[in-house]
Amino acid sequence: MRIGESLSHWLTPEWESWFLDFAQKEKLLREDEDFRNDRFLRRSVIPHIRNLSELFNRKAEASPSDGYWSSSSNSPNLWLSYFLSFQLFNMTRVASIWEELHRLGYDREKRPIRRILELGAGLSAGASGILLGERHGPNGLDGSVRIATIEAQRSVSRLGQKWLESFGPWLGAPDLAIDAFVRRLTPQELLPPKAPKFDVILSSYFMNESLESPQVWARAIHGLIEHHLEEEGLFILCEPALQEQSRKVLEVRQELLKLWDKKPLAKILTPCLGHQACGALAKEGDWCHEETSWWRPQWLKLMDQELKLDHRTLPFSYLVLAKSQRSLGAILPKVGSQVPYRLVSPPHKVGRGCEFYVCCHLGKSKTRSKVKLDVERGDVLLDLSIEQKSDRWQILN
């Protein structure tokens, strides 16, 4: 996914100074410690990230964080390590989704966004990602925003609230109000019937911790949208890019379309740009994910080097729905009435041209251009003239 220069470089020295103050205030660091110090990173941060990585990259079983937050021998270093890795990664992923909506001209008919809900919030990375995305690609957040978070563990919820209360004003959202609720969620009961409506409901890296089927999650999301999402509101789902979790997102989308066969409750916006059958699910073992490229400061590069990881790109799977009866082109004016084609693979050089996979209303197919195109995974091409050949599509224009 192509993001702007300012968002890709958001980890500035100014942010580092803010985070150092935050970490010392919350006693995640002593006053004489600095998270950018190589020796401190190697001894006090990297071992925790290694353990977290093993948990979060497991096959779906139980919640990866169950018991780990409380059983760690050094909780402050664990919190710090999570903030410096998964928190930043997940925030940037959600911010990229938010900025893409801006890039496609997202239009709410002059209805400001005042209330946001994050489900299974953890340390509030998803809500923070929306605030970060709004700074670099505004979509209509009101000057006074209220964020509700729901998280099962009280200590996690409390620290996530403190993070939002400090990070929001640093971004320029001084009138931010936070309601942090401690409650274990299941798809059978995400919100009580009398809960209010929200302009945005967000689930970030939460569904993958559940063993419930796509059918169960589709019904749960349908209920949320029907009863707790304002008209013209957004539902955002962001999940890992691993094959199993990514296909689950696609299967949830497919189940929603079945529920909405006669009367769609919401419009599927991104990444699919429509309600067509999923091209990735057509082939067993295939899946669809996105990735965003960003700039890493030196301390983050060192962490990657020590852990033998590569976070130059951040992969993820996602789905954005709008509770609207307007057309896709009215909600995303940059698409308008044109036919959108989404690149779902990196381009590869073929002769003087290039080849890549696209997904559209016709399905998913290998596609070739006779000339080199300045494109990358996630780009949206509009109104292509294509010829269908036996093994691929050929771009004619």
Half-sphere exposure of 358 (CA within 13 A, CB side): 26
Q: What is the pLDDT of residues 136-185, one digit of tens each?
A: 999 999 989 999 999 999 999 999 999 999 999 999 988 999 999 999 99
88-103 and 125-136 helices cross at what angle (nearest 10)?
Answer: 40
Superfamily of domain 5-331: Vaccinia Virus protein VP39 (3.40.50.150)
CA distances from 197 to 112, 117, 160, 319 (A): 14, 9, 22, 20
Q: What is the pLDDT of residues 288-307, one digit of tens each?
A: 999 999 999 999 999 999 99
Question: For the chain, what are the domain ranges?
Answer: 5-331, 340-395
CA 80/CA 349 separation, integer angstroms:
42
Mean residue pLDDT across the chain: 93
Q: Kindly state the average pLDDT of the residues 64-75.
A: 56
Q: What is the pLDDT of residues 194-214, one digit of tens each?
A: 999 999 999 999 998 888 999
